[in-house]
Amino acid sequence: MTEAAIEKENKEIAKQYKELLRISYQSLTDEDKKLIRSAFDIAVDAHKNQRRKSGEAYVFHPIAVAKIVASEMGLDAVSIASALLHDVVEDTEYTLADIERLFGETVARIVDGLTKIAHLKKDMNISQQAENFRKMLLTLNDDVRVIIIKIADRYHNMLTMDSMPEHKQVKIASETLYIYAPLAHRIGLYNIKTELEDLSLKYTEPEVYEDILGKIEESKEEQQAYIDAFSGVISDSLDKENLNYYIKGRMKSIFSIRRKMKVQNVSFDEIYDKFAIRIIYKSDRHNEKFLAWKIYSIVTDHFTPNPVRLRDWISSPKSTGYEALHITVMGPKGKWVEVQIRSERMHEIAEKGYAAHFKYKHGNQKEQGIEEWLNKLQEALENANTNAVDFVEEFKLNLYSKEIFVFTPKGELKSLPKGATPLDFAFNIHTEVGMHTRGAKVNGKLVPLNTTLQSGDQVDILTSETAKPSQSWLDYATTARARSKIKSSLREEKKSTAMEGKEVLRRKLKSQKINLNEDTINKLVVFFKLKTSLDLFYRVGIGAIDNQMLKDFAASYSNAFITFFKNKIKRTPVPEDIHREEITTKYDTLVFGKEEDKLEYKLSQCCNPIPGDEVFGFVSVNDGIKVHKKNCPNAISLQSNYAYRIISAKWIDSSQEEFTVEIMLTGIDNIGLISEITEVISGNLHVNMRNINFSTDGGTFSGRITLVVKNNAILKKVIDNLKRINGIDKVSRI
């Protein structure tokens, strides 16, 4: 770079720093400014020779993250300093000890939580990304600010991914959808969560993203006109009550519109609630609820409400701390529209989440949802000694869950995720209650422990000192806390049984004149086709491995040939794993059809890909290469946890191969309709039908047809031609 360019860049860095101080949410003390300045100076020095993929100085990234932390999340000076330093230990010569010496223990702990696990051994059974997630999530035991800063870091990375190669964009976007967007939602950062979802869709399904974005842009003027018309009807009535308020419209996110299109199997134009209207009013805490219902009354005086779409999160706030009154009314032009009624305090909590929640907390008021969730989460994390992927899956269980509200026998209100059972309720009350549950009553009636609870249920847990968790409880429990406690108890019981089993095994082998040592244990594990020595001891302890089975082992023990053979079996997985790594690195494109380098593969049944679909290969541990569609329901999880086992794949020539695919049709039941359908498919397009199934009800029909096609282009042609038949409403691939 020239001196002029360097000077210009330095001026821009200084400008960004001043902007950071200006937008800081809280009024900073002199000590705060000193802390931030020191962190800024260290960040500039540490990253002075580093540049991002885009070519800009790396230090712009930590400054941008700190600005997000300050302005959009409203965190304190310690958080801002930690954000400035978040990549220093991972990417530069500075150590964690340096950070602690310069900035103290709190900043060092946060920076440590933000630093990825380095030099993790690459293993087909270990997900490095899941291990990094686990490390980050475990810091919730110490400081939730780690998670918030990490979300800000990910948000800025998502905003600046255009210069990255496509496979990295897809990997990062998948991770974001898999863990960061749900986390942002759970901490109450709804704006950030929405942005993360939309940006993820931009890279995982770019064509879909651009299509919906274009349609939203086209309808903006129409939407604004509708909001103005709605506001005009109610403004006079609100003004007469001397309310201090404002009305704004909010377009539903691209991601949420896409989700509705998929779930409801409809087009963009068929989504009726593409935007919501917010009425935000000023009020002191004492009058908030009264004024919310007053505004509700005024709105419903003018527009008919949908009685099943009323949500009162003021009386019972969400566990994220979210409060508002949501109603759906029949608005102008006969359109359903969602109206959200919030005070300014509620609005700020909805926008800034966790930080705003604590700003408004006074004494023993109701903003306890987030604290309760964090406390329960921390308790669950204390027992987190499962593998990393299972850990993250358990953690994710309750991130996006809708809530129900149930009552204790004394009338106390408890919040649980939708789908919760009496067992979840028991562990929500107290761990000891959960551990000794022997039954449950719901609304006075004895019910099974796997009963799904509904809002308004009164739940009474029956306990016994002799009751204890069983393996079947994992089928009943849905919350991360309950499942974690049950697994912990089962592990302890298994360890205890295994210790007894080990002594039993030692005695029984001694009678066969065999010593129980490491070599013998390894041979026993191979002989009985088990995974670990713990499994071996446990199975002996419960009697699953009996005397005769051990005699069979003893008979083989002295046979040198069999011993050698079993050792060969034992060593087999090692070269197999190496071979898979060679496949992963050697073939950057997986080719199908007539290509000479054709690899063995299987089409995954979760998404049933066919030629023409956008696909990728996944190197599984026991089942070779599995091919998935890029928009497969499991794609996000695979890309997030096992990116190093993904092989890019494309169809070259599949003209000699045929694939089965199922389509669904709905419409009006006309005479001769099936004849027309079969004529189009078999007569005109010469496509074979393997199965056809139709049913009628009240003049309408629905049907499924299994087709045999060579590629996606032929399938699309079939669907397009079927849609032209009079009476057919929808045709879609299943």
Residues annotated catalytic, as ranges: 90-91
Pull the structure tokens for residue 617.
Answer: 């290969």
CA angle 573, 576, 578 (to 5 degrees): 115
Q: Check: CB of residue 640 under 8 Å from CB of residue 678.
A: no
Give the integer Cα–Cα distance in Å for 729 and 723: 7
Q: Put the strands of the sheet holding 445-447 in their side by side order.
A: 445-447, 437-442, 459-463
Please tell me whether residue 468 adopts helix, strand or coil conformation. Answer: coil
With a CB cutoff of 8 Å and minimum separation 6, the contacts of 524 are: 505, 530, 536, 553
Give the integer Cα–Cα distance in Å for 686 and 268: 32
Q: Check: CB of residue 408 under 8 Å from CB of residue 429.
A: yes
Three-class DSSP labels, 660-722? EEEEEEEEECCCCHHHHHHHHHHHHCCCEEEEEEEEEECCEEEEEEEEEECCHHHHHHHHHHH
Backbone angles phi and psi of 664, in degrees to 5: -120, 140
If you write DSSP's letter for every residue of 176-232 in order, what string do you get? IIIIIHHHHHHHT-HHHHHHHHHHHHHHHSHHHHHHHHHHHHHTHHHHHHHHHHHHH
Neighbours of 463 (CB within 10 A): 16
Backbone angles phi and psi of 416, in degrees to 5: -135, 155
Give the integer Cα–Cα distance in Å for 405 and 316: 8
Residue 178: closest CA among 418, 385, 400: 400
- Provide the angle, in degrees to the nearest 10, between the axes of the packed helices 77-84 and 60-71: 160
Give the integer Cα–Cα distance in Å for 111 and 592: 46
Q: 545 vs 505, 510, 560, CA distance in Å? A: 9, 16, 23
